[in-house]
């Protein structure tokens, strides 16, 4: 099987998950300078291919040469990119990939496309957004990811590619990019830990308003869903939500990260940034289809995800990560409806 974007945050976790199942993973990165996937030590092979410049025929030849029966597309652009760059990475790349897959001889290849909750746009408070919800994205990321989803679903309908789209909630865990909110917070806490080790006072953490509610899922849980989607019969042409099925406040999560770090870092919301916000205030996924079709459900607690994130980011000598009761123990079960929005932001 082949993982595209294997040097990225999710691609590395996905490669690990397949390797743990004994799969022979062919890892594809944009160029040879990309980070080696975690699973490389367990038998995966890494090949540099720029999917935006390599002709689809050459990509098809590569896929045929390695005997690809499953391709996971974890490539794309999310952080520190403008709409044109996101269009290239999230829409044009998918079109080129589908064109390549259609040229590989033999039966259609299973393509697992990683979509995003941001394709939906706003969800209704206290209600989980299901796969039949009409997408109305309000961000460049959501719009361009939706274009990629539509390309895969058209190819699946034409039976030229056995495509399935996983619409992922906001993903957190070890290695989260610094361009994301959680990566930014982790980087600040790492700097605060280094300052503390020098006997200096930690700088305050200044963030945009943290007034939204989001669904958040652990990277390892997301990777497990990818493995299930790659191996389950009868899901071609489907969109399947992957999340925790609850809306969590960003402010709650950020405060939790700080508490788990054991660092005395004040969190300050910069209200002036509110006027420039274009994202939505509430997102919660209905994940019942994933349970029904894939036999999948999230297994990691929010605290486990945050501890993994912090352990990977903080200097090892300063990582405390303990002494605070698990936030999951204070929350409603995953199958229970969330009764009120809480502060959260991506």
Catalytic residues: 141
- CA-nearest of 218, 187, 215, 216 to 203 is 187
- 72-97 residues labelled b (16+ CB within 10 A) or e (exposed): bbbbbbbeebeeeebbbbbbbbbbbb
Neighbours of 52 (CB within 10 A): 12
> What is the 8-class DSSP label of residue 344?
-
CA distance 47 to 28: 5
């Amino acid at each position: 099987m082949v993982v595209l974007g294997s040097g990225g945050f999710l691609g590395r976790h996905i490669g690990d998950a397949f390797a743990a199942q004994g799969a022979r993973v062919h890892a594809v990165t944009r160029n040879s300078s990309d980070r080696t996937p975690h699973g490389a030590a367990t038998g995966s092979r890494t090949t540099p291919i720029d999917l935006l410049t390599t002709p689809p025929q050459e990509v098809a030849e590569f896929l045929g040469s390695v005997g690809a029966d499953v391709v996971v597309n974890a490539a794309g652009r999310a952080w520190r990119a403008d709409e044109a760059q996101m269009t290239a990475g999230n829409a044009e790349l998918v079109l080129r990939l589908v064109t390549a897959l259609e040229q590989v001889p033999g039966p259609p290849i299973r393509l697992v496309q990683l979509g995003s909750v941001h394709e939906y746009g706003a969800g209704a408070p206290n209600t989980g957004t299901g796969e039949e919800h009409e997408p109305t994205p309000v961000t460049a990321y959501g719009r361009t990811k939706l274009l990629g989803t539509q390309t895969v679903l058209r190819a699946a309908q034409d039976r030229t590619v056995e495509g399935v789209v996983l619409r992922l909630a906001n993903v957190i865990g070890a290695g989260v990019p610094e361009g994301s909110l959680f990566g930014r917070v982790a980087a600040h806490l790492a700097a605060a830990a280094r300052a503390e080790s020098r006997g200096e006072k930690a700088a305050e953490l200044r963030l945009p308003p943290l007034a939204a509610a989001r669904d958040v899922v652990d990277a390892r849980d997301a990777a497990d869903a990818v493995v299930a989607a790659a191996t389950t019969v009868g899901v071609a042409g489907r969109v399947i939500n992957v999340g925790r099925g609850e809306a969590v406040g960003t402010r709650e999560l950020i405060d939790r990260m700080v508490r788990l770090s054991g660092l005395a870092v004040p969190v300050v919301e910069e209200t002036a940034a509110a006027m420039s916000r274009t994202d939505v205030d509430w997102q919660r996924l209905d994940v019942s289809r994933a349970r029904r079709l894939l036999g999948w459900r999230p297994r990691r607690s929010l605290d486990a995800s945050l501890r993994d994130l912090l352990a990977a980011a903080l200097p090892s000598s300063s990582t405390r990560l303990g002494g605070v009761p698990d936030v999951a123990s204070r929350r409603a079960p995953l199958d229970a409806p969330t009764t009120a929005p809480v502060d959260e932001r991506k």
